[in-house]
Amino acid sequence: MPGELPPAGATWPERRRRALADPAMRAAVAKSTRSLAVKKEAVFATYPAAEAMRKRAVIARRGSLARVDALLDELTRRVEARGGHVVRAAGPADVGRYVLDVARRRGVQRVVKSKSMATEEIALNEQLENAGLHVRETDLGEYIIQLAGERPAHILVPASHKTRQQVRALFDEEAAACAVDPPVGDATPELTAFARRQLRADFLAADMGISGGNFLVAETGTLVLITNEGNGRMTTSLPRVHIAVVGIDKIVATWADLADLLQQPALSGTGQRLSTYTTFITGPRREGELDGPEEFHLVLLDNGRHELLGTEFVDILACIRCGACLNVCPVFRTIGGQAYGTMYSGPIGVVLTPLLGGLERAPELPKSACALCYACADACPMEIDLPRHILALRRTEVERGMEPWSDRLTFELWGRFWANPAGFRFTGRIARLGQRVYVRDGRLKGAPGLVGGWTATRNAPPLARESFHEWWARRRASRTGS
Amino acid sequence: MVGAAACLEDRVVTRKPSAGSLAEASGRDALVAEFVESWRGLEGDAWIVRGGRDEVRRTIVEAARIMVEDGGPATSCRVLAWSTADLASLDLPGLLAQQGWEHVPWPTGARAGEAAAGTNGAAAAGDVPGAEEVTRTQAELVTLAAASDLGITTCAWAVAETGTIALYATPATGRLPSLLPTAHLALVRPSQVVRTVPDGLRLLAEYMAREGDPPSAVNLVSGPSRSADIEGDLAVGVHGPRRAGVIIGEW
Ligand code: SF4
């Protein structure tokens, strides 16, 4: 049984159409992805230690994945020995139930969250809000997305598809709703100042902080949380209760492993040597300490991960969510993250969405959202062979007969005809006859079916009057004839 | 490099090693220089102090003026500082009183009630507080920290390559002073600077071997809070301190 992901909303053609019709979004995405990709290249070029650490980190990560169960047991023992609580959650409902239980027991009304893909995956906010809790996303990008009622469009910079004017409009609306002063302008410091003021108030009033986690260190039961803004520190330091929701794939065995991994999300994500804030949390606040949470809960989320162990897809669990594959992907750079209809967009999303949510959840992604250019495979610091996985998923779709009958028929006929020279030549002749109606000004225009999709946005030359084969045969005939 | 740090170059307290002196400098000096360069590269403020305790004290005032008031006359300034023996030798209460600034020591567990009494230093009932009382104390500490202008801490170690300081959470060294005040200033001894993050983590491993466990929280901080969430444009100070400074010296 795979896990469960929130539904996509609109259909794939609809999402794709909306994305392509939004030039502001496309410009914003093109700019942010290019800038992140350039920064990544630059840091690896100027910081030689980065590459050596990366290579060791790949080995460390795969080594840990090879014994996940034993490590999770060790982690659990360690966290509990430090006074923390650990639960294993199979899917979204388990997490929701547990968090709401704790909230009820501790009289929690207001929750602050630091950015976490795991909680996006299980739509935790919705579950909590439906139960009457006030939930505030505190990462600046996530805050913008929450106000817009959208889904993060990039795993690292969730609001990178928004322009500053759009952000200001959202903040103005929020200011009116909260009866506070709106931002004074749309310059970055002005917008940031507004968010800081609003989010500060949320932090100080919150009873519960919910975070994700970048890594879990089994040998000491330590949660590793990486942020640039410091909202991770706030979320895990101020409220009375801290709950971390972390995928079981985040486990590493030792601090020595972590030492090689710790800088990788920053290096490949933003081109920084280390993110601004890295926090190691081992259990709740201790005897004599006056700050930090009184309770620490660690929810280990499975949601379809465990069953990937031992399959050809296992290396996908080594992903550190750096976003490097998104930034180099021509499909992502063209349509942005929203069009994927899932919180995991770009190449990693194309693979992870069907693996976690079932192939039926997003059959269009492996099939249509990849050009097999292999840029992601080159960019991935964890050396995950994303294109190979995409091909494997395509194969599975065909084996299960999931593609529409028209596709099956088209490819069946195509295969038949082009399997031998006579068939190939025959289709050429038919196409040349058929295209006559559609050739205008020496170009193919307004053709039907598959070809029409191509000619709608591109210039296609018509097939030549005579094929090479025909020309060759004619030439040979005239030579021998003379 | 941030403007204030640059303008400080001209003042007495800062001396950035020139290329020549760098070449002759010992490995330690080179590490310190690299740390300062990395830290400033992250929009952090940095002061290297060579003169010892008195100069460190002078620099603290200088740094507070610059980070809290942007160089203007800091008329009122509330400073929340860790209460460690290491910092005690700097006599922060005396130093800040001279400026007419307010000093709030981080209460250690046994003296929690005292802090709850407020910022004027008046001691309240000094009983070791029960769980109930500690909760109340934390809420008040949060309010107090959020209303502070400057947090002063030391650090466990610092990393030259990445411009990072490590803060361990213990009863005397709370999480809030480096998190909630408008600015955070950390005092770093030259001997605490290591080259790489893994070097620093080895020091943490030594601590774990000694104490049997990591601290409840370790924070690695590399410059002030930053975000690129609005059009990829760098914004400093979204959540944490708006400015982060380090003074490297012996005291
Ligand atoms: S698949 Fe690789 S490149 Fe993509 S987010 Fe994961 S680790 Fe980064």
pLDDT tens-place string over residues A221-277: 999 999 988 899 999 999 999 999 999 999 999 999 999 999 999 999 999 999 999
pTM value is: 0.88
Ligand 1 pocket test: which of A319, A326, A370, A386 has the largest number of ligand atoms within 8 Å of its C-beta?
A319
**DSSP notation for A68-107:** HHHHHHHHHHHHHHTT-EEEEESSHHHHHHHHHHHHHHTT
Query: For residue B243, what are its two tokens?
Result: 């400015």
pLDDT for res B42: 93
| Amino acid at the residue A184 | V
pLDDT for res B109: 54
* Nearest CA-CA partner of B56 in B44, B66, B48: B48
Question: Which atom of ligand 1 lies nearest, measured to the CA of A326?
Answer: 4
Domain ranges of chain A: 22-307, 318-400, 420-481
pLDDT in tens, B184-197: 999 999 999 999 99
pLDDT in tens, A3-19: 888 888 899 999 999 99
| For range A178-207, the mean pLDDT | 91
Nearest Cα residue to atom 4 of ligand 1: A325
Complex prediction ipTM: 0.89
**How far, in Å, CA of A410 to CA of A416, rounded?**
10
Cβ of A31 within 8 Å of Cβ of B232? The answer is: yes
| For range A66-88, the mean pLDDT | 97
How many other C-beta atoms can be found within 10 angstroms of the C-beta atom of residue A482?
Answer: 5
Q: CA A264, A268, A269: angle at the middle one, nearest 5?
A: 105
pLDDT in tens, B82-140: 999 999 999 999 999 999 999 999 987 544 444 333 333 333 333 333 444 445 577 88
| For range A294-307, the mean pLDDT | 97
> Per DSSP, what are the bridge partners of residue B233?
B230
Centroid of ligand 1 to alpha carbon of B225 (angstroms): 25
Preferred mutation among A215, A235, A280 to probe B, highest tally of B CBs within 10 A: A280
pLDDT in tens, A100-118: 999 999 999 999 999 889 9
pLDDT for res A61: 96
Residue B237 at interface with chain A, using a CB cutoff of 8 Å = yes
Domain ranges of chain B: 2-248
* Nearest CA-CA partner of B186 in B26, B73, B17, B39: B39
Centroid of ligand 1 to alpha carbon of A261 (angstroms): 13
A382 lines ligand 1 (CB under 6 A): yes
Centroid of ligand 1 to alpha carbon of A264 (angstroms): 10
Could you give the 3-state DSSP secondary structure of residue B79? strand
Out of B135, B141, B208, whose CB is closest to A220?
B208
pLDDT in tens, B231-249: 777 888 788 898 999 999 9
Residue B214 at interface with chain A, using a CB cutoff of 8 Å = yes
- Residues in chain A closer than 8 A to B170 (CB atoms): 289
**Hey, which CATH number is domain B2-248, 3.40.50.300, 2.30.30.180, 3.30.360.10, 3.40.50.10420?**
3.40.50.10420
Nearest CA-CA distance, residue A440 and chain B, Å: 43
B48 phi and psi angles, rounded to 5 deg: -100, 125
Nearest CA-CA distance, residue A199 and chain B, Å: 8
* Domain A22-307 bears CATH identifier 3.20.20.10: no
A328 lines ligand 1 (CB under 6 A): no
Centroid of ligand 1 to alpha carbon of B211 (angstroms): 36
